[in-house]
Structure 1
């Protein structure tokens, strides 16, 4: 499938080899996509250290730009700056099923990890326009499949995984990813992003500063503003732009939990580049983690019993005075991942004949032809 850069969109920064979150060494991603019958949904699984590294902690942090949504496990991450289990993304009404299935998967493959306690991170966005959201479509096996098939390398985008039934700026939305190289002295670090895009109103949409949403000729069945008219047509009685976005930021740079939260706080700047003003009905919640060994060591060592001198821990981390290059990478990644999700998405017909139309590639190419 084409990506944003294939449509001549001028985007900043230098991507990694796959321009994906999997450019961060060790990160693996898997999808389960459900499109049969009334199901237009799925599961996305992100394993920070791959399938062999479950239970090995990363430093981590979260941030909620708008709390009209859900991301489980946030309280422990915010308390201790620790993430050790997979991150999964699905639809709003499947959070419980996905959470329980993740527990069972970890218990099956990592019994020593499961014997302590498990706090999987499960995020959601609402796909009830296209998906039978109360149809209980996401099952245990679907979560297992997403986790078991997770891999590194290039990733599918658009109508896949948890993003299958999502909409963005009243075009078809879905799953998107991107990455950036960050040069730090003689070392090269990677910042990667994966997101589930399901937010924004059509007239807000911008590409590289150009307001393409207002003049798009693509049909917009989600743009009706009269709620009673929507109800009479059998459409969900919700305003345009409802839905949410979950963003996962990964890096191999050694960053403290407070620094990772600062990266999360820059996510809205990348979203704003695509036009959104951050509507009330959108749950915009973000999580970031670092796989750096020097950072992970402080999260992994859990001394018990009487305190001893050797229990004191040390950590290496990027100085705050050099953090701006990572902020820039996050903003660039998030902007491009949203555009990648929309460019890769295809027209979809869902429940009760509801339709969502993809961003017209020709309109984008025409805007940036030289």
Structure 2
């Protein structure tokens, strides 16, 4: 059986499986699902080829669902906070998170023009499960997949969001061209979905911190791995730049969801979200003006607190939390997770051809490792 921290369930190497060094100690499956209760599901839509026939395809898209407390407790609040590095994007529901410091729905991630159907799908799914209250503020985030996908064709529908929610599970999860990340590109290579986790000691306790990234950002020349600027040194095609495209290099967007089972205040969750750009920066991004860089962090601890009900008979609620003076190891874990999650999205991928023959090449492993060796990076033994 492959080791899930370094390999996919079908035996393909993840970033650390190539021997790329990373700091910190990953959880058992090195994924956001190492956080107690978190489940992830996908709907992946790939069909058609050739020229764009708007409304007919080709289709390279999908939906990712992240359920903080799993399918059994979809409306139980979690302490949460969010942060925007660059606002050229969308993440619904954040005004309510800002107001009450709580996340009370699953998180869906899709393409830019599918936010509406996914929002409706989240409502349909939660109403069907009988939530405790009659109003919902779903969190739906997006990145742009129009280079490969018929993004204006309305191919992602509410039922696809429902399907992603219904398929959510814990344990090892797929990465690369799956779910909302299906049609995405990153640093001029095939991008998409990536995840990683770290374990953090706090006193006598141990907690997990996990990150999930929908990576659709970065210019090729900025790609940095293990501290080495490899983007300009990798001898590989770069069709999005070589042949010109609608947007300048680096456009796209990145959504990052950070989860932890450590007990945190809403303000501490927001502080974790503010550390996401430090992890992205390790991979080289400059935070392009045409990239929507939006981040959400939540804690699954303190179950039963942060409620907001019409007829609550509670006089008080209580939050247990890590003292601010002990928060730094969690910041470090976020940075490490985000860096590795981006590289997993790149490494666990294959070349994809989409609309009008648009091509997104896979990151070539051999070329990457050659550049790292030339940069005197001490690589570990590749695993499978």
Which category of TM-score, normalised to the shorter sequence, fits these structures?
Answer: over 0.9
State the partner residue of 2:330. Answer: 326
The answer on 1:62 being equivalent to 2:62 is no
Does structure 2 conserve the Cα–Cα contact (< 8 Å) formed by 1:297 and 1:315? no
Cα deviations by residue, 1:70-92 (Å, 9 ceiling, x for unpaired): 00000000010011111000000
Give secondary structure in 1 for the equivalent of 2:228. coil
State the partner residue of 2:211. Answer: 193
Q: How far has the Cα of 1:302 moved from its partner?
A: 4.1
Instruction: Tell me the distance in 2 between the aligned counterparts of 1:156 and 1:219.
Output: 26
Does structure 1 conserve the Cα–Cα contact (< 8 Å) formed by 2:234 and 2:368? no
Does structure 2 conserve the Cα–Cα contact (< 8 Å) formed by 1:198 and 1:244? yes
State the partner residue of 1:249. Answer: 258
Q: How far has the Cα of 1:168 moved from its partner?
A: 0.3
Does structure 1 conserve the Cα–Cα contact (< 8 Å) formed by 2:119 and 2:158? no
State the partner residue of 1:161. Answer: 179
State the partner residue of 2:117. Answer: 97
Give secondary structure in 1 for the equivalent of 2:168. coil
Count of residues in Structure 1 that have an aligned counterpart in Structure 2: 354
Uncovered stretches (5+) of structure 2, i.e. residues with no partner: 1-11, 49-57, 379-384
Instruction: Tell me the distance in 1 between the aligned counterparts of 2:59 and 2:309.
Output: 43
Does structure 2 conserve the Cα–Cα contact (< 8 Å) formed by 1:8 and 1:368? no
Instruction: Tell me the distance in 2 between the aligned counterparts of 1:28 and 1:312.
Output: 30
Cα deviations by residue, 1:76-131 (Å, 9 ceiling, x for unpaired): 0001001111100000000001000110111112x243x42101100000000000
Cα deviations by residue, 1:267-320 (Å, 9 ceiling, x for unpaired): 000000000111100000000110002xx4431364748xx9x61333210000
Tell me which of 289, 293, 298 is aligned to 2:305: 298
State the partner residue of 1:76. Answer: 96
The answer on 1:348 being equivalent to 2:352 is yes
The answer on 1:9 being equivalent to 2:20 is yes
State the partner residue of 1:151. Answer: 169
Give secondary structure in 2 for the equivalent of 1:284. strand
TM-score (norm 2): 0.90
* RMSD (CA atoms): 1.4
Uncovered stretches (5+) of structure 1, i.e. residues with no partner: none
Instruction: Tell me the distance in 2 between the aligned counterparts of 1:75 and 1:303.
Output: 19
Does structure 2 conserve the Cα–Cα contact (< 8 Å) formed by 1:7 and 1:364? no
State the partner residue of 1:285. Answer: 294
Q: How far has the Cα of 1:364 moved from its partner?
A: 2.2
Instruction: Tell me the distance in 2 between the aligned counterparts of 1:282 and 1:152.
Output: 30
The answer on 1:335 being equivalent to 2:339 is yes
TM-score (norm 1): 0.93
The answer on 1:119 being equivalent to 2:137 is yes
Q: How far has the Cα of 1:7 moved from its partner?
A: 1.2
Does structure 1 conserve the Cα–Cα contact (< 8 Å) formed by 2:212 and 2:341? yes
Q: How far has the Cα of 1:341 moved from its partner?
A: 0.2
State the partner residue of 1:19. Answer: 30
Does structure 2 conserve the Cα–Cα contact (< 8 Å) formed by 1:20 and 1:155? yes
Give secondary structure in 2 for the equivalent of 1:13. coil
- Structure 1 runs of 4+ aligned residues shifted over 6 Å read none
The answer on 1:270 being equivalent to 2:290 is no
Does structure 1 conserve the Cα–Cα contact (< 8 Å) formed by 2:42 and 2:163? yes
